Structure 1
Amino acid sequence: MAMRRLIGKTFKFYKQAVNQAFSETNLFYTNVVLSIAISSTGDLLEQSYEFYRQEINKFDFKRTAHMAFSGCTAGVLCHHWYKFLDKIIKKRTIQNVIKKLILDQCIWSPIIILSFFATVAIFEDNPIENFTDEVHEKFWILYKAEWVVWPPAQIINFYFLPTKYRVLYDNTISLGYDIYTSHVKHSKTKKYVEKNEN
């Protein structure tokens, strides 16, 4: 009996916490925190793999903090993007889902990729040069990956989920993609390799 009461109270507390986190008042903060957590986790998992492969000999927590900052930026941007998208295209029809998908892939994906390179470049030496080099060499790698991962995922997102759960769902799918993003970001550019060979 006591166990049942405890489970009932725990479930009630959990339900209240979720309702509060995804309320209109707190949704922005929830989305940003989720995005920071997922970007950090993605980088730590990628570093774990690099450590296992002996590509690195210790974890770089500064790098994780930079990825967390890029996640914060993505959280802010995605929160407002999904609200805007649902405001201009309202009804949940297959036709509208396709419209949202095209806007998301053709307009939003490039913006998010560029903002990712920009926010991480801020913390590096020669940020403008690094940003330009990485966009030139790595933008299309990530953009092609976006076309593999996101269209099927976003069909579910746009058709089935209410606006308030879009960033949560996005982040759930994004964990695997964030591992890949961290890998692409921290692989050396041709220019970097040439510079260090000379």
Structure 2
Amino acid sequence: MMLRLWKWYQNCLAYHPVKTQVISSGFLWGVGDITAQYITHSTAKKRLQISKDADKDFKIDWKRAAITSSFGFGFVGPIGHFWYEGLDKFIRLKLQLQPKSARFIAAKVALDGLIFGPFDLLAFFSYMGFATGKSVDEVKEGLKRDFLPALVLEGGVWPIVQVANFRYVPVRYQLLYVNIFCLLDSAFLSWVEQQKDAPWKQWFTSFNPLKERGG
């Protein structure tokens, strides 16, 4: 069954690469958001010690899941497809590094972490803010609250994930590899966004030197 499914995916990817990447990205990001909703619901019950009378069964916020899924469809799928294809060509043809070499992989991981990673986070939190009806000022506040914590926490995980990706996975399957981890990543980012002004986020913003300088 799994082998037949894999062959079907390979066939779709060969004939409709962008469409296949878009659909798979949207599906996985939607599932990731539903996972984040469940985690948020469970942790809130434990933290607030909700009584039996006030206890409510977990219900999926389908509007939020659809919004997050749309981010996978509209951004991660198409942008990710062209990013990984373009990144590979740039490093091979412009930087002229040998594929699979240590310098080749290091260059890919560095560019991915310095360019695509922050851009992806900025796009996600901005999109989620505007899509849920927030104003420009509210979106800016959300970015100040969520961007740096997410960037720091993801920065300790994604380089390791991408080393294996760029070393062992063919270019056309690299977004699929990333999307599998995005099932966890989308859950994580949705969870970060739903945490609002959680105390653990204050630890990151407390080191902002601009606050001390009044600027």
TM over 0.5: yes
Counterparts of 1:188 and 1:19, CA distance in 2: 40
Which residue in the other structure is 2:71 paired with? 70
Counterparts of 1:162 and 1:83, CA distance in 2: 10
Counterparts of 1:160 and 1:99, CA distance in 2: 15
- Alignment of 1:120 with 2:128, yes or no, is yes
- Would the alpha carbon gap of residues 31 and 48 (structure 1) be closer, same or farther in structure 2, given more than 3 Å must change? same
Deviations 1:82-129 (A, max 9, x none): 011011112221101001111011111110001111221222233322
For the residue of structure 2 that corresponds to 1:80, the secondary structure is: helix
Residue 101 of structure 2 aligns with an amino acid whose one-letter code is T
After TM superposition, give the deviation of residue 148 of structure 1 in Å. 1.4
- Would the alpha carbon gap of residues 141 and 54 (structure 1) be closer, same or farther in structure 2, given more than 3 Å must change? closer
Residue 87 of structure 1 aligns with an amino acid whose one-letter code is K
- Alignment of 1:151 with 2:153, yes or no, is no
Provide the TM-score with structure 2 as the length reference: 0.76
Counterparts of 1:15 and 1:155, CA distance in 2: 23
Answer yes or no: is the 8 Å Cα contact 2:27–2:69 preserved in 1: yes
Counterparts of 1:76 and 1:117, CA distance in 2: 18
Deviations 1:127-171 (A, max 9, x none): 322321111111111111221111111011111111110111001
- Would the alpha carbon gap of residues 123 and 14 (structure 1) be closer, same or farther in structure 2, given more than 3 Å must change? closer
Counterparts of 1:69 and 1:186, CA distance in 2: 17
* Identity in percent: 25
Count of paired positions: 180
Counterparts of 1:78 and 1:50, CA distance in 2: 28
- Would the alpha carbon gap of residues 139 and 48 (structure 1) be closer, same or farther in structure 2, given more than 3 Å must change? same
Counterparts of 2:128 and 2:64, CA distance in 1: 9
Counterparts of 2:127 and 2:188, CA distance in 1: 17
Deviations 1:41-95 (A, max 9, x none): 1111121223334559432111111111122211221111101101111222110
For the residue of structure 2 that corresponds to 1:22, the secondary structure is: helix
Which residue in the other structure is 1:38 paired with? 28
For the residue of structure 1 that corresponds to 2:131, the secondary structure is: coil
Counterparts of 2:6 and 2:124, CA distance in 1: 33
Counterparts of 1:44 and 1:69, CA distance in 2: 13
Counterparts of 1:38 and 1:14, CA distance in 2: 16
1:83 to 82, 85, 91: 85
**What is the aligned-residue RMSD (CA, Å)?**
2.1
Answer yes or no: is the 8 Å Cα contact 2:129–2:142 preserved in 1: no
After TM superposition, give the deviation of residue 19 of structure 1 in Å. 2.6
Counterparts of 1:29 and 1:78, CA distance in 2: 12
Structure 1 residues without counterparts, runs of 5 or longer: 1-6, 191-198
Answer yes or no: is the 8 Å Cα contact 1:42–1:175 preserved in 2: yes
Which residue in the other structure is 1:182 paired with? 190
- Alignment of 1:21 with 2:12, yes or no, is yes
Compare 44-53 and 177-186 and name the one that shifted more: 44-53
Counterparts of 1:127 and 1:75, CA distance in 2: 26
After TM superposition, give the deviation of residue 184 of structure 1 in Å. 0.6
Structure 2 residues without counterparts, runs of 5 or longer: 46-54, 93-98, 199-215
- Displaced runs of 4 or more, over 2 A: 13-16, 49-59, 124-127
